[in-house]
Amino acid sequence: MTAVAQTQRETGLTGNSAIAYAMMQINPDVCPAYPITPSTSVIEEFSSYVADGKVETELIPTESEHSAMSAGVGASAAGARVMTATSAQGLALMWEMLYIASGMRLPIILTDVNRALSAPINIHCDHSDTMGARDSGWLQLYSETVQEAYDNLIMAVRIAEDKRVQLPIMVCLDGFITSHAIENISLLSTEAVQGFVGEYTPDSALLNVENPATFGAMTLPYAYMPLKKQQSDAMTASKPVVEEIAAEFALLSGRNYGLLEEYKLDDAEVAIVVLNSSAGTVKDAVDTLRAQGKKVGALKPRLYRPFPHAEIAKALSGKKAVCVLDRADSMNGFGGPLFTDIRSALYSDANRPQIIDRIYGLGGADFRVNDALGVFDELFKVQETGQVDELIKYLTV
């Protein structure tokens, strides 16, 4: 039996249970939280771990998500490792504090169980919540499966707290689809998780009363701008850290994660780019078409912030036609956020493909293998004609 296998246990868990379990294994110092569908059971289950004495975490059941993230900022500045979870309106209510957490360089770890934003009110999955926070200065990791969500969360702790990064991080998984469906998952032992994440030791902390420091000072332009540059540089610098920590995690778990996952992409002529659980659907469609001898593939970014623009451009360079599937609309009249980012990343590539955007699955709308096959049909047409008829379109409506 290998060392890797000894540290692992196979079981069936929902995404939310796996997240709560990882949080229990990590045993964060402070968990400020507020319930919201579909992330609620993360906090419920974690509250039970607290109540049962399985963790030494201080649970702060705040009266709103804004206060949850505010308490998170206070706790993190105080020197604590802080973890929380939310969804949709909850993340939106945190919006102000997301920027503050990042600007203050506080490595808070948040799980967002993706859900549509109101209005109209809808509790089902899409990515409009975390896409709305894509430029808040948080790193974002997306997760296709329960396993990936669990693994991402454990890696997230190390990434956020790395001295080269020191930025907050969001782990995203699809509401109800991943959060509530039971999948087989391989859990690490708690000792292995704790050994991997280590202890949080910030350079300065409010609770370090021997060195009283001021956090969150008022800045004028001469300080604001250089501090913003520092933050931006850290965001850029975090990309190799994500890779490094994934490599370390692979040694522990036997599971390999890149910034992106390329699925049969190498020799593909047309490809779909997609985040989170729908990647599974797209992979099925790829398999179906591959069986027919069609050169198709898929690309699933795992890291979305910082945006791995060079890696994505490299992966898509030379393809004939690409469709970006967006589970959110930017409402800017120019498609979804993933589309504009990817199109921009490809701009300076001499062999850039034709590229289209298809918005799908809003508010939990189904996206089936047939829908993915339909997208590939569109791509074949683009490949054939070299023409894009419709740049941006809603699917299934």
Partner 1 sequence: MVKNKDFTMLDAKDLPLGGVLPDAGSAEEYETGGWRKLRPIFDPEKCIDCLTCWVMCPDSAIYVEDDKIAGYDLDHCKGCGICAEVCPDKVQAITMVEEEN
Partner 2 sequence: MATLKELAKKEELFTGGHRLCAGCGIPPIVRLILRSTDSNIVATTATGCLEVASSVYPYTAWKVPWVHSAFENAAATITGAEGAYKALKRKKRLPGSDQERDIKFIAFGGDGGTYDIGFQALSGALERGHNFLYVCYDNGAYMNTGVQRSSATPLGSNTTTSPAGEVILGKQQWRKDLTKIVAAHNIPYVGQASPHNWRDLSKKSEKALAINGPTFLNVISACPLGWYAKPEDSIALCKLATETCYWPLYEIEEGVLKVNYKPKDKRPIMEWIKPQGRFKHLFKADGGMEIIEEFQRRLDEEWERLLELDGKRV
Q: Pick one of partner 1, partner 2, none as the site partner of residue 3 (Cβ within 5 to 8 A by kind).
A: none
CB of 69 to partner 2, least distance (A): 8
The nearer residue to partner 1, 211 or 292, going by C-beta atoms, is 211
Which of 1, 52, 63, 222 lies at the binding interface for partner 1 (CB under 8 A)? 222
Kindly state whether residue 56 participates in binding partner 2, applying the rule CB under 8 A. yes
Q: How many residues bind partner 2 (CB under 8 A)?
A: 49
C-beta of 211: minimal distance to partner 1 in Å?
Answer: 7
Residue 207 found at the interface with partner 1 (CB under 8 A): no
Q: Extract the tokens encoding 193.
A: 């998780």
Four-residue CA torsion sign, 197, 199, 204, 205: positive
- Cβ 79 to partner 2, closest distance in Å? 5
Peptide bond into 250 cis (omega under 30): no
Check residue 74 for interaction with partner 2 (CB under 8 A).
Answer: yes
Choose the contact partner of 166 out of partner 2, partner 1, none; CB within 5 to 8 A by kind.
Answer: partner 1
Site for partner 1 in 39-78 (CB under 8 A): none
DSSP 256-319: ---SEEEES-TT-SEEEE--TTHHHHHHHHHHHHHHTT--EEEEEESEEES--HHHHHHHHTT-
Q: Exposed, middle or buried by CB within 10 Å (0-12, 13-18, 19+), for 206?
A: middle
Regarding 167 and contact with partner 2 (CB under 8 A), the answer is no
* Residue 212 interacts with partner 2 (CB under 8 A): yes or no: yes
**Is the Cβ of residue 79 or residue 254 nearer to partner 2 in the bound state?**
79
Q: Which does 199 bind (CB under 5 to 8 A by kind): partner 2, partner 1, none?
A: partner 2
> Rounded to an integer, what distance in angstroms lies between the CA atom of residue 299 and that of residue 302?
10
Q: Does 106 bind partner 1 (CB under 8 A)?
A: yes
Q: For the segment 14-43, give every residue that binds partner 2 (CB under 8 A).
A: 29-30, 32
Binding flag, residue 236, partner 1 (CB under 8 A): no
Q: Which residues, 216 to 245, sit near partner 2 by CB under 8 A? A: 216-220, 223
What span, in angstroms and rounded, lies between the C-alpha atoms of 244 and 199? Answer: 18
H helix runs in 308-368, sequence order: 309-316, 337-346
- Can residue 66 be called a binding residue for partner 2 (CB under 8 A)? yes
How many beta carbons lie within 10 A of that of residue 326, not counting itself?
Answer: 31
Please report whether residue 229 would count as binding partner 1 according to CB under 8 A: yes
Integer Cα distance of 135 and 165 in angstroms? 16
Find the part of the chain contacting partner 2 (CB under 8 A) among 67-75, 114-122, 247-255, 361-369: 67-75
* Position among 78, 123, 373, 388 found at the interface with partner 2 (CB under 8 A): 78
Q: Coil, strand or helix: which one is 14?
A: strand
217 binds partner 1 (CB under 8 A): yes
Return the exposure string of 60-85: e unless at least 16 CB atoms fall within 10 Å of the residue's CB, then b. Answer: bebeebbbbbbbbbbbbbbbbbbbbb
* Shorter beta-carbon distance to partner 2: residue 216 or 318: 216
From the centroid of its chain, how far is CA 187?
A: 20
Distance in angstroms between the alpha carbons of the first and the last residue of the chain: 52
The CA-atom distances, in angstroms, between 202 and each of 81, 108, 167 are 9, 12, 12
Helix, coil or strand: residue 229: helix
Nearer to partner 2, 104 or 296 (CB): 104
Out of 13, 75, 234, 324, which residue is the one contacting partner 2 (CB under 8 A)? 75
CB nearer to partner 1: pick between 32 and 202: 202
- Least spacing, CB of residue 93 vs partner 2, in Å: 11
> What is the helix (H) or strand (E) element at residue 183, kind and residue range?
strand 182-188
Chain residues in the site for partner 1 (CB under 8 A) = 103-106, 166, 203-204, 211-217, 219-223, 225-227, 229-230, 233-234
Chain residues in the site for partner 2 (CB under 8 A) = 29-30, 32, 56-58, 60-64, 66-68, 70-80, 82, 96-97, 100, 104, 199, 202, 205-220, 223
